[in-house]
Amino acid sequence: MRLRNWISRFIVALPSFFCGLAIAQSGHVALNPIQVAPHTYFVRGLPEMGSSQNQNFISNAGFVITPKGVVVVDALGSPVLAKKLIAEISKITPQKIVAVIVTHYHADHIYGLQEFKKIGAKIYAQNQGLNYLASETAKQRLIASRIDFTPWVNEGTQLVGADVWVDQKYAIKIGGVEFRITRVGPAHAPEDLMIYVPSEGVLFAGDLVFRGRIPFVGNADSRGWLAALDEIERLNPKIVIPGHGNYSISPVEDVAFTRNYLKYLRSSMANAAVNLDPFDEAYQLADWSEYEGMPLFRAANRMNAYNVYLSIQAE
C-alpha cells in the first residue's frame, strides 16, 4: 500500500518534469505555467481528445503580466480549468486579471470564460464570434459537452460573449504594454485572431499553429489558413505560442509543420474534389506515412481530409 501511495504521488508530480505538460490521473489535472519571455507565460494542454478525465484540457492558454494587470489569452476548455489558471496566476503575481483575449470560439478555448467574467475581466474577441454564439452548432456542442465532460462542463457552464468585438485590427495598451490584435480569419475558424506583444517578442497564434499533434481542420478555410501562416512569418516574432503543443523559439521551422500538413491535404484531395471522384479512393491513394505516427492521427486525419475535399469543391 505504501509503495502504491508513493507511486501515485510520483505520477502527480511528473508534470514539472515535462515542460508544464499536464498529467491526467484519476481526474487530477495540473496546470503548470511555463515562462517564455520576461513577463509572458503559458499552460500547455494535453495532446489528446477532450474527456471527463482530462477536464477538456487539450488546448493552451497564456498570460502577460503588466504593471497595471494581467492579460490572458484564451480561457481553456472548462470552468474548473479556468479557476485553476486564475489560481496559478495569483501565485506568480498580485496583479488582477483585467482582460481576456479569445483567439477563436472553439469549445476547448472558451468554456472557461465565465470564470474570468466573474472576476471582472474584459473579454475581447473577433466579431464573427457573434455568429457562432447564435448558432445551433454552439448550442448542440454545449449540450454534448455537458455529457462528454461531466462533471467539469455541466448545466452551470454557459456560452459567454465578448465585451469588445474586434473587426479588423485593434490594439490595447495596459500598463504600458501593447497588445496588437489582428483578424486573420476565416482560417482555422471564421473568427480567428492572433495577438502580438512587441515588447515581449511573443505571438499568441491560437489554432493557426499546431505543434506535436495532428491539427484539427474541422470546417476550416484551408486556403485562408495558409495565408494566415504567411502573415505570421511576415511578422517574424521571436516566440510563437500555438493553440496546441509546446511554444516555439524557431517560428519559421515550426509554422512549416502546420503549413506542410495543410498543403498536403489540399494536394492529395484536389484532383478528386475537382473531378468529383470518390473521397474514399482519394484517401486510400494518399501516402500518410509522414503523419500517421503522430498523436490524434486516427482521431482527426480522415475527417480533416474529408473537410478539405469538400471545401475545395466549394472554392
What are the pLDDT tens digits along the chain (315 aa)? Answer: 333 333 333 333 333 333 444 444 445 899 999 999 999 999 999 999 999 999 999 999 999 999 999 999 999 999 999 999 999 999 999 999 999 999 999 999 999 999 999 999 999 999 999 999 999 999 999 999 999 999 999 999 999 999 999 998 999 999 999 999 999 989 999 999 999 999 999 999 999 999 999 999 988 999 999 999 999 999 999 999 999 999 999 999 999 999 999 999 999 999 999 999 999 999 999 999 999 999 999 999 999 999 999 999 998
Helix/strand/coil for 294:
coil
Task: Quote the pLDDT of residue 168.
Answer: 87
CB-count burial class (<10 Å; 0-12, 13-18, 19+) for 138: middle
Task: Quote the pLDDT of residue 19.
Answer: 40
Task: Quote the pLDDT of residue 27.
Answer: 54
CA 8 to chain centre: 29
Task: Quote the pLDDT of residue 185.
Answer: 81
> Contact at 8 Å (CB) between 48 and 54?
yes
Phi first, then psi, for residue 135 (nearest 5°) are -85, 155
Task: Quote the pLDDT of residue 12.
Answer: 33
Helix/strand/coil for 63:
strand
Task: Quote the pLDDT of residue 195.
Answer: 98
Instruction: Output the nine-digit C-alpha cell for 19.
Output: 515542460
144 Cβ neighbours under 8 A, 6+ residues apart: none
Distance between CA atoms of residues 215 and 260, nearest Å: 11
Architecture per CATH, domain 2-250, reads as 4-Layer Sandwich (3.60)
Task: Quote the pLDDT of residue 186.
Answer: 94
Tell me 211's DSSP state.
-
Tell me the whole-structure pTM to 2 decimals: 0.90
What are the extents of the domains in the chain?
Answer: 2-250
